[in-house]
Structure 1
Amino acid sequence: MNSPLLALWFLLFAPFLYAWRRIKQVRRQQRQNRTKLLDELGVTLADAHRKRVVGFFHPYCNAGGGGERVLWTAIEHMQRTERDVVCAVYSGDTDATKASIIEKVKARFDISLAPDSLAFVFLNSRHLVEDSTWPRFTLLGQSLGSMYMAWEAMGKLIPDLFIDTMGYAFTFHVVRWIGRVPIGAYVHYPTISTDMLARVRARQRWHTNADTISASRVLSLGKVLYYRIFMYHYSRSLRLASFVMVNSSWTKNHVDAILRHSDPLLDALHTLPPWSLLNWISPANADSPRDARIVYPPCDTREVAQFPLQGRERVILSLAQFRPEKDHAAQLHAFSILLDAHPEFKSSGASPIRLVLVGSSRNAEDAARVDSLRALATALDIADQVEFVLNAPFATVLHWLSRASVGLSTMVDEHFGINVVEFMAAGVIPVTHASGGPLNDIVVPFNGEPTGYHATTPESFAEALYSAFTLAPEQELAMRERARTWAVQRFSEEEFEKGWDASGWRTWLEAGS
């Protein structure tokens, strides 16, 4: 073989040979890794053979948002009902300890976790899925970064069942190749959707479609191609799961479409080398689900449902992480429009109203976003009636839910909206964006009567807020009662646990053992 051909062969196949040798080494180490984990939990050698390990991939498990409530409720349920199951959480929160995470879960969600059947596998590569790491081609970069995180995770522990609860479907290829265990998914929000593709095609400005892209026909065409390729591979990744749960009908419609997605041109290309190698590395899953199961997120409605419905303060409450898609800026603009149109609601007026924004700030990017929101409130001359409450413990969240009159949520295509359910159960009248879960699943008529308001623009949000604050006392009380009754009946922790068990995770756990 001449030198150029030998060099080409080396470039093409040496990485695969190295990876294969590394995978064999990782698999050989697993018995030792598993024994060490069980020993740290105090499991005796006599009991170790009965234990089954369920791995939860949730790099931001300490964030304190709605997705984390799903994670911890599922784990608490499994701890309570399955004595021989050990839950291992793959976390990137290397600045935290097991004890501090358990303590925060109790403070934020009032969920008590048993430390003797809960382990943490801390990963050092979480920066690879941070937005700031990938200022360009963010979806691709984060997906590749998640695959590296999965590689690190499998090197430290291969579970009997792997469940992704954050939306990193590209990890499934790595888990399938290295771990050879069943995979499950709880999808809060698809990584890419037909809506995102449609916005790029329409050259619509969005937080996922910058001005420089939407203003250029050439760049928009390039991004459409990029999204088309990404959608194809995202679909292939998601189909590697043996079961898929989703949090709302909006998410189900999108995920079902993704599970059935096909692209004849890309299908043909993947039969040719070098793309055909992908089919060998990560073959299709014969048990791939064709439909996702709706399992509404758990909402702790028991305590908040005891709050009195009358005597509420003139407070608009926002309850959401300070992420860009939550669109807190729209809330400030709507509040400013409301005050300009109705001076009686200003601090100097007869019936002043306050806007309180409660939410977690996860990192430096979120902190900078809060600073920009404070600056916007000052520029709009509403700062004296706006309050920011950051990283509040559960008791503080309950405090505001018991006092507020109206709850505000402005995210477009909110996949579900646990905060909206909490508003309703607490007797807080919801004003939400007319899309996603709040439109289709949550703020819906109960017994033919409304349970809240929908809006789409800052102007219409201002109008809805005005309507909520000017209801006649008997109408206001009736709406609060309807909203609470519906939320408590439909979105309880008990309903979530039933749906979680109906996913069939126990069957797949036994299959992977």
Structure 2
Amino acid sequence: MILLPFLLYIVTPITLAYIFHARKLRKSRNNQVDGVRKALNLESVSGKKFVGFFHPYCNAGGGGERVLWTAIAFMQRTQPDVISVVYSGDVDASKEQIVEKVKSRFDIGLSASSLHFVFLHSRRLVEDKTWPRFTLLAQSLGSMYLAWEAMSKFIPDLYVDTMGYAFTFPVVAWLTGVPIGAYVHYPTISTDMLARVEARTSWHTNSDSISSSPVLSSGKLFYYRAFMYIYSRCLRRADFLMVNSTWTKNHIDSILQHTDGLFDTLDSAAEALLTPFAIIASLSLPTPASHPHKMPKEALRIYPPCDTRSMASFPLEGRERIILSIAQFRPEKDHAMQIKALDALLRAHPEYKSSPHPLRLVLIGGVRNDGDRARVEGLQTLARDLGVSDFLEFIVNASYQDMLTYLSRSSVGIHTMVDEHFGINVVEFMAAGVIPVAHASAGPFLDIVLPVDGMPTGFHARTVDEFAQALHDALSLSSTDDIAMRKRGRESAVQRFSELEFEKGWEASGWKRWLR
């Protein structure tokens, strides 16, 4: 009895404020559309549909961005009546600069006449450096504010999140009523993360100070359980979900069906109390774009695209003694393990140091911010401490052409991230004829580096010593076995992970029916 008056006191003004703002926002859409028409220099947008892509880091140049731009380029070629609207936090770059970088980094050409950018000024709210504590929750709440900013500037006919911000779904649904889709690269939280906290395992998402404390671990486990429950509810608000790998699909499908006794009970009680307010809000918000929502039962697996066409033309013979790494300089990529593996390899096999062709590890990666730059400096310090700097090269924010050059020259590719959701760089290795040595988990293990007719296409490892041994095994293959493995890997990558296969999957997702 005490709870009901309290809820009435708190929720009633919030409901009224929400109804007022949402009505005002939806009425302003004609002005928003006219603004886009003027920005694109179009005489009319009659008959046009607007697909909004929520991708705050669209200029980062990583695998997720390749998915975004490949999808948009495909839609521009096949759907001339669709205008793509990208919600970007890259306020320091112009539309022309972003389009130019897409061409340089991915060799993807975009038509400026059907591409519009909505620049968001609150991206700092989703950056991990902004939230040193309760990072997952704070970033997710920050994404909700960022979505509010996005919808305040432009309401699309279809909203597609291509970065993994599921907490934006209820905001978009409540404010606009438009259909919602997503391409999920990895779950924001997974059962693996819960298991590591419960087992008190130190990880980049579970610091030593927490894993060493029973009290703090119990508190974090409760926090993770609550977050997982809310995350599952947000995912269910989507109309369709696409994922990039078997590992991600297994997790997302599980999260869609996730239940928790404690939070289910609390949620049911809150829903019963708040139902009258939800009914009042829905009756007060006439929305032409509204649609019957049905929770997706499962996600559709669509492998991300790789530019296998140009890479498949590289010669398989005459490769240099180069171990190549292609990965953004983020903590989860674990570049430190690559440097330690190089050190272990050179100690076990000092012959790789000898001239005229000493071994080199080349680290190519994107740097997004000061945190990434500091990470690179830390890796350089580690290399000096281990005495392997002479055998190591850093190439930061390389152009697409420079990356292709190294892919055409390198013998072996290394990838050390644990539970990499997919691993486009591993596909690029194989397509280019580079023998992959990848972590034995998730995408590289379940989807990419798979045997062909019972014969290997690469190597897997888990520890520093295992990586060092696998690198040696790859570098010491006989010429016959070496060429045969490169050829198998290339054929597997080209057949399964091309842009054409991605486009077929994107078309099969059913996104177009939500525009009707």
- TM-score normalised per structure 1: 0.95
1:145 matched to 2:142? The reply is yes
1:363 matched to 2:369? The reply is yes
- RMSD of aligned residue pairs (Cα, Å): 1.9
Measure the CA separation in 2 of the matches of 1:276 and 1:366.
46
Q: 1:404 to 1:501 in 2, by over 3 A?
A: same
Corresponding position of 1:288: 295
1:27 matched to 2:26? The reply is yes
Corresponding position of 1:253: 250
Corresponding position of 1:309: 316
Q: 1:475 to 1:181 in 2, by over 3 A?
A: same
Q: By how many angstroms is 1:273 displaced?
A: 4.0
Measure the CA separation in 2 of the matches of 1:338 and 1:279.
66
1:325 matched to 2:297? The reply is no
1:221-240 mapped onto 2 (5 Å cutoff): 221-240=218-237
The one of 405, 425, 429 aligned to 1:423: 429
The one of 376, 380, 391 aligned to 1:374: 380
Q: Give the 4+ runs in structure 1 shifted more than 6 A.
A: 5-8, 282-285
Is the partner of 2:113 in helix, strand or coil?
helix
Is the 8 Å Cα contact of residues 269 and 275 (structure 1) preserved in structure 2? no
Is the partner of 2:51 in helix, strand or coil?
strand
1:191 matched to 2:197? The reply is no
Q: By how many angstroms is 1:263 displaced?
A: 1.5
Is the partner of 2:30 in helix, strand or coil?
helix
Which structure 2 residue ranges, 5 or more long, are not aligned?
283-290
Q: 1:234 to 1:457 in 2, by over 3 A?
A: same
1:388 matched to 2:387? The reply is no
Measure the CA separation in 2 of the matches of 1:471 and 1:22.
66
Q: 1:226 to 1:341 in 2, by over 3 A?
A: same
Is the partner of 1:90 in helix, strand or coil?
strand
Q: 1:241 to 1:279 in 2, by over 3 A?
A: farther
Corresponding position of 1:166: 163
Q: 1:93 to 1:293 in 2, by over 3 A?
A: same
Corresponding position of 2:126: 129
The one of 54, 59, 67 aligned to 1:57: 54
Measure the CA separation in 1 of the matches of 2:136 and 2:53.
22
Corresponding position of 1:340: 347
The one of 467, 471, 487 aligned to 2:473: 467
Corresponding position of 2:216: 219
Q: 1:56 to 1:115 in 2, by over 3 A?
A: same
The residue type equivalent to 1:295 in the other structure is I
Is the partner of 1:272 in helix, strand or coil?
helix
Measure the CA separation in 2 of the matches of 1:209 and 1:456.
19
The one of 299, 303, 307 aligned to 1:300: 307
Q: 1:352 to 1:239 in 2, by over 3 A?
A: same
Identity of aligned residues (%): 60
Q: By how many angstroms is 1:306 displaced?
A: 0.4
Is the partner of 2:86 in helix, strand or coil?
strand
Measure the CA separation in 2 of the matches of 1:131 and 1:390.
21
Deviations 1:404-425 (A, max 9, x none): 0000000000000000000000
Q: 1:274 to 1:256 in 2, by over 3 A?
A: closer
1:43 matched to 2:42? The reply is yes
1:98-113 mapped onto 2 (5 Å cutoff): 98-113=95-110
Q: By how many angstroms is 1:290 displaced?
A: 1.0
The one of 79, 83, 87 aligned to 1:86: 83
Q: 1:355 to 1:274 in 2, by over 3 A?
A: same
Corresponding position of 2:285: none
The residue type equivalent to 2:256 in the other structure is L
Q: 1:120 to 1:325 in 2, by over 3 A?
A: same
Is the partner of 2:269 in helix, strand or coil?
coil
Measure the CA separation in 1 of the matches of 2:393 and 2:495.
32
Is the 8 Å Cα contact of residues 71 and 165 (structure 1) preserved in structure 2? yes
- TM-score normalised per structure 2: 0.95
Measure the CA separation in 2 of the matches of 1:7 and 1:207.
40
Measure the CA separation in 2 of the matches of 1:241 and 1:467.
46
Q: By how many angstroms is 1:432 displaced?
A: 0.1
Measure the CA separation in 1 of the matches of 2:273 and 2:433.
56
Measure the CA separation in 1 of the matches of 2:326 and 2:430.
12
Which structure 1 residue ranges, 5 or more long, are not aligned?
none
Q: By how many angstroms is 1:19 displaced?
A: 3.0
Q: 1:273 to 1:491 in 2, by over 3 A?
A: closer
